[in-house]
Amino acid sequence: MAGTGFGGRGRRAGCAPIRELTPAVLTAPSSFEVQGHAGTLTSWQTLGQWTYDLNAGRDELPAALKSRVAALVQGETDERARIRKVYEFLQANTRYVSIQLGIGGWQTFPAASVAANGYGDCKALTNYCKALLQAANVTAYCALVRADEPDIHTEFPSTQFNHVVLCVPLTKGAKADTVWLECTSQTNAFNYMGSFTGNRHALLLTPTGGKLVRTPRYGVAENRQERRADVYLDAQGNATATIRTLRTGLEQDYSNALLHNLSSAEQKNKVADRLPLPSFTITKFNLAPGVATSVPTMVETLGLSVPNLAPPSGKRVFLTPNLLSRTSSLPVAVGERRADIWLDNAFVHSDTIRIHVPAGMKPESLPAPVKLTTAFGTYSSQVQTLPDGTLQYVRQLRMPQTRFARTEYGAYVEFRRKISAADKNQLVFVKTES
């Protein structure tokens, strides 16, 4: 067993893991010993039992802290609300450090040590939160997980984990539910695993051994980007735009990281780098948490000045209504493709863009509606004329989390090509003034 410990942050995504593409031999001992602590590795149950026993009794808190927690949740009858108060207390009073030396790769600091010092690694902070919840009369279990990397081989019990999170089964109420807590972050949303530890297996550590469970799965219903924009065009083809983008679930992870790690000016620069416009000035910028739902949300507000967005050509003006959500096409495979197609995260992107044109300009040609329905996802876009003469462009792209056989790559390339072509469709306006 390699003493790698459990303590990473972040995540890669978007490609098949190397283990899917290359031969590999996996090994694990049937019995082992780490600094005098012996165990067996014949099942997930035995691995979990060894880890649980290694950390048993290290969740004792000072009496004064127990009293403080009891006072914190006093009078709160809702179990989820009690858990949230304890979690927010943890976030406000601790910070993360990595401990991976020797047995420290597996065994936590005592909870009393974290209480005294205010820091610990993922094991220590998770164990500390477990102890705090216990003081609030809530039972929780530590869970080992492979964070920031592809999911574990569930059929091969072994030490494939690098992180620890907290699992809190709710015991009250008619409907069974579970709260999951990331204990290393001061900014992580309550009961949200994100791309770091969501959509994978974890090893729950219980008094009777380990049990493989699923962390929360985030699909199309959770991962949304909804953009609404008003574009005001002048007679010379210059434009101003006001844009509001709501992102939820995995779609908001990047924006959330910007908000909590960068200054406002740095956030603005990062957002500007991702705008697919050749020339523009950001005249207004704001990034803030949205209204809380079952997953965290972020709202990005932009004001843009866009010169030559639709430069005139004689009496006509050409405008691509898809301002910011254009999908690129993919290269055709050269030779035989060897890997399956991986669509890593499910999501839905929706755009509603209203285009306001000046007097003396009217639409001459509108692109035909486009609707694509495939196993890879669905796409639609259309332009409508509203009663007040404003043009409204509506686009939606829904993509699943799935994988397809490598022989389907040609069809997937064609799907992406059609989306890319539709995203480039133009409106044609004609000037009516002499």
What is d(CA 427, CA 431) in angstroms, rounded to the nearest whole number?
A: 13
- Check whether 283 has a pLDDT greater than 70: yes
Find the mean pLDDT for residues 213-218: 96
Average pLDDT over residues 332-339: 82
Give the pLDDT score at 260: 95
Q: Which domains does the chain have, with CATH numbers?
A: 18-214 (3.10.620.30), 224-431 (2.60.120.1130)
Percent over 90 (pLDDT), the chain: 80
So what's the pLDDT on residue 1? Answer: 29
Q: Give yes or no for residue 213 having a pLDDT over 80.
A: yes
More confident residue, 15 or 210: 210
Q: Can you give the pLDDT at residue 4? A: 31
| pLDDT over threshold 90, residue 433 | no
Does position 211 have pLDDT exceeding 70, yes or no?
yes
Task: Summarize pLDDT for 83-115 with one digit per residue, the tens.
Answer: 999 999 999 999 999 877 778 889 999 999 999
Query: For position 331, what pLDDT does the model report?
Result: 83
pLDDT at 76: 95
Please give the pLDDT value at position 434: 53
If we measure between CA atoms, which residue out of 162, 155, 85, 92 comes closest to residue 123? 162
What pLDDT score was predicted for residue 115?
97
pLDDT band at 19 (very low <50, low <70, confident <90, very high): confident
